[in-house]
A and B are shown apart, each in its own frame.
Chain A
Amino acid sequence: MDFFVNLVIAAISSGTPLLFAVLGGILSERSGVVFLGAEGTMLIGAVVSCLAFVHTGSLTLAIAAAVGAAGAFGLAHAFLSVTLRANQIVCGLALTLFGTGLSAYLGKPVAGQALAVSMPRVKLPWLEPIPFVGPILANLDILVWLSFSLVIALYLYMYKTSWGLHLRAVGDNPATSDAMGLSVDRIRYVHVIAGSMLMGLAGAYLILVYSPNWMEGMTSGRGWIAIALIILAGWNPLYALGGAYLFGGLDALGFRLQLMEIGIPSYFLKMLPYIVTILVLMAAGWRGRNKPSIEPKALGVPYVREQRF
């Protein structure tokens, strides 16, 4: 029992940065803009957050700085891909490379410096007696609770409000949305920027909670995993929760299986999260093969009024 409780707690802490990034990616992609800059944006979020914390000592400012810097990245991506209608894949890759290099440069003065930071935790002692769920939920930090509420808020926003309907309409059929009187460009700008802000939050979580000292390239590929998880989640915030924790949980499970000495090589266990992600993607693809695609139909296509594709 303890084994599973500990595993779920480990899955949550490892999955939370992924969850923020996946939610951000969903927002951007639902408006029809592919955002491959996740890795670079997370790194920028992390390094700016670290610098802000070192200079001000304030957690709120550190988080705000990460969100702001990542928002600027989102603005750049929106400008390139929406206003200038550049190839979104290329812009995203450029942002990732740029973010990786820039974060390494900005991080030089604080590299290897330990941050004396502790994220406030939400203590709910009255939950403890509930078996299994109690010990998991009783002592989580506030950013985890923020991620929970974001999942629900984004779900309600996307499926239960007219703004959400507009968002999905722009992602599926910008020409019709335009004819309806919606501003395609404005909606795309807002969601790309909001999405990249969430990716910045993912970077802030990494450095402020998960591993409190800046190291070059500390995301080590988590941005790319987040992009795969967007597809796994079918662009739905609720499934994003499952996808992020599935990945985080398998990540944690690998080490636990090593300790059980069941004879599976550690190299193989390290592949486990990736293999399962591929399998789940295949299974989802197989089940949905006769149904209409759930992908936003205008994803990756710049919108030009009056132009037919």
Chain B
Amino acid sequence: MKKIVLTMLVLTFALMTACSQASKPASPSSSPNPSPSGGASASPTAKPEGELPKVAFVYIGVPGDGGWTFEHDKGRQMVEETFGIEATVVENVPEGPDAERVFEELAQDHDLIFGTSFGYMDPMYNVAQKYPDVKFMHATGYKTLPNLATYQGKGYQPGYLSGLAAGMLTKNGKIGYVGAFPIPEVIYTINAFTLAAQSVNPDVEVSVVWSNTWFDPATERQAAISLLDQGVDVLANYQDSPAGIQAAQERGVWGMGNDSDMNRFAPETYVTNPVLNWGPYYVDVVQSVIDGTWETHSFYGGFKEGMVEIAPFGKNVPQEVKDAVEAKKAEIQAETFDVFAGPIYDQSGAEKVAEGAALSQEDILVMNYFVKGIKGTIPQ
């Protein structure tokens, strides 16, 4: 008797576990709409001519991360409000074979699929070849097909503005930066940050440690504390978790996060940080699919295109800092100022960009060196 009860219990457990695991990627969080084009939920504002496309979003995390996925999800909401459609959302899709399965399933009954993580590149590339009629949009990748386009925000532009604020706020010239992974996206943002800080405070020193995580609050906190113990008085973080700025606030040190407005985590000492604003672009893409004008592309959006923004300033940031940042933002927006204009020297002092020249978009995307004034190493 006991054996039977036991077997049943273990089976129940196994089943519950299996469900709690499998149902996450498989079941869309916002109810899957069997007929999004049915017109029942048509928006009163926009009534496009063509049939409304069925749109899906695939996320690496959950919208509740308060960072990367949170911002993509805001873009998704904007699409839904603009067109009155209901998009399918699949959360927590790990990069790898699972992703390929998810994209393949979605491709069978959707017209347009957004994949919002770098690691979806190969799965999307494979599935896109099998479904030529479905449009695939991949964030931060570099492989394209006639039906697979890529898009990315110019994170170094708001990164430069954060650095400007940091350079003005530091009193002892010591700034800390907790990098996520030593990849170009992070490296060029830290470089832009440092160049800006130096532009207002030439002696400033930016110390970088790598957490080698995107999302591990406890480790990121430890990394932040190692910098705080060195006496930095401004601390920037590239990860999605607010652990670093929370640690900074405990010491009364200015803090900056990434990807999203993080005011609420450290209201006293928060400065600002880069924010990616995907909504307007997502709306354009959906509109082009409706109009039948969609073509493959590699899109890099900066302030001019409205894809990047800086978060609202923390309440204790001095007015002069806000003014300086806003002024520089206007210059970047008007393209009268280039973040990576020469002269730029690397850590060894070798000239990387000559006076009067500037880095091209291609050069920026493969940046693998730190500029002069950064204390830290890029593991090779």
List chain A positions with a Cβ less than 8 A from chain B. 2-3, 6, 10, 13-14, 17, 80, 84-86, 90-91, 94, 97-98, 100-102, 104-105, 107-108, 111-114, 206, 210-213, 215-216, 218-220, 222, 251-252, 255-256, 258-259, 261, 263, 265-267, 270
How far, in angstroms, from A94 to B64 measured CA to CA in the complex?
26
- Cβ-neighbour of A10 out of B61, B65, B209, B229 (below 8 A): B229
Chain B positions 1 through 35: 1 when the CB is less than 8 Å from some CB of chain A, otherwise 0: 01001100110011011011100100000000000
B6 touches A258 (CB 8 A): no
Does residue B66 face the partner (Cβ distance < 8 Å to A)? yes
B218 touches A261 (CB 8 A): no
Cβ contacts under 8 Å, B277 to chain A: none
Cβ contacts under 8 Å, A111 to chain B: 62, 64-66
Cβ contacts under 8 Å, B265 to chain A: 114, 213
- Cβ-neighbour of A258 out of B210, B242, B380 (below 8 A): B210
Cβ contacts under 8 Å, B358 to chain A: none
- Cβ-neighbour of B243 out of A17, A211, A263, A265 (below 8 A): A211
Which residue of the partner chain B has the closest CB to A210?
B218
A220 touches B376 (CB 8 A): no
Min CB distance B229 to A, Å, is 4
B377 touches A261 (CB 8 A): yes
A255 touches B242 (CB 8 A): no
Does residue B379 face the partner (Cβ distance < 8 Å to A)? yes
Identify whether the interface residues of A are mostly helix, strand, loop, or mixed: helix
**Given that A10-B225, A10-B226, A112-B64 are contacting pairs, would A97 and B218 also be in contact in the complex, using a CB cutoff of 8 Å?**
no
Chain B positions 178 through 196: 1 when the CB is less than 8 Å from some CB of chain A, otherwise 0: 0000100000000000000
B20 touches A105 (CB 8 A): yes
Which residue of the partner chain A has the closest CB to B224?
A255
**Given that A10-B225, A252-B225, A258-B210 are contacting pairs, would A211 and B241 also be in contact in the complex, using a CB cutoff of 8 Å?**
yes
Q: A104-B62, A210-B218, A213-B66 known; 10 other A-B pairs, CB under 8 Å?
A: A10-B229, A86-B9, A86-B10, A97-B21, A107-B64, A210-B217, A215-B65, A220-B218, A255-B226, A261-B375
A266 touches B10 (CB 8 A): no
A86 touches B241 (CB 8 A): no
A267 touches B215 (CB 8 A): no
- Cβ-neighbour of A270 out of B5, B14, B212, B218 (below 8 A): B212
A216 touches B229 (CB 8 A): no
Which residue of the partner chain A has the closest CB to B213?
A220
Which residue of the partner chain A has the closest CB to B226?
A255
Does residue B216 face the partner (Cβ distance < 8 Å to A)? yes
List chain B positions with a Cβ less than 8 A from chain A. 2, 5-6, 9-10, 13-14, 16-17, 19-21, 24, 61-62, 64-66, 70, 92, 182, 207, 209-213, 215-219, 221-223, 225-227, 229-230, 241-243, 246, 264-265, 375-377, 379-380
- Cβ-neighbour of B219 out of A3, A94, A213, A251 (below 8 A): A251
The 4 closest A-B pairs by CB, nearest first: A101-B20, A111-B64, A112-B66, A255-B226
A266 touches B209 (CB 8 A): yes
Which residue of the partner chain B has the closest CB to A118?
B250
How far, in angstroms, from A112 to B242 measured CA to CA in the complex?
9
A98 touches B16 (CB 8 A): yes
How far, in angstroms, from A98 to B229 measured CA to CA in the complex?
38
Cβ contacts under 8 Å, A261 to chain B: 375-377
Cβ contacts under 8 Å, B65 to chain A: 111-112, 215
How far, in angstroms, from A265 to B16 measured CA to CA in the complex?
42
A220 touches B216 (CB 8 A): yes
Which residue of the partner chain B has the closest CB to A102?
B20
A112 touches B222 (CB 8 A): no
Which residue of the partner chain B has the closest CB to A268?
B379
A94 touches B246 (CB 8 A): no
Q: Which of B215, B229, B246 has the most CB of A within 10 A?
A: B229
Cβ contacts under 8 Å, A206 to chain B: 218
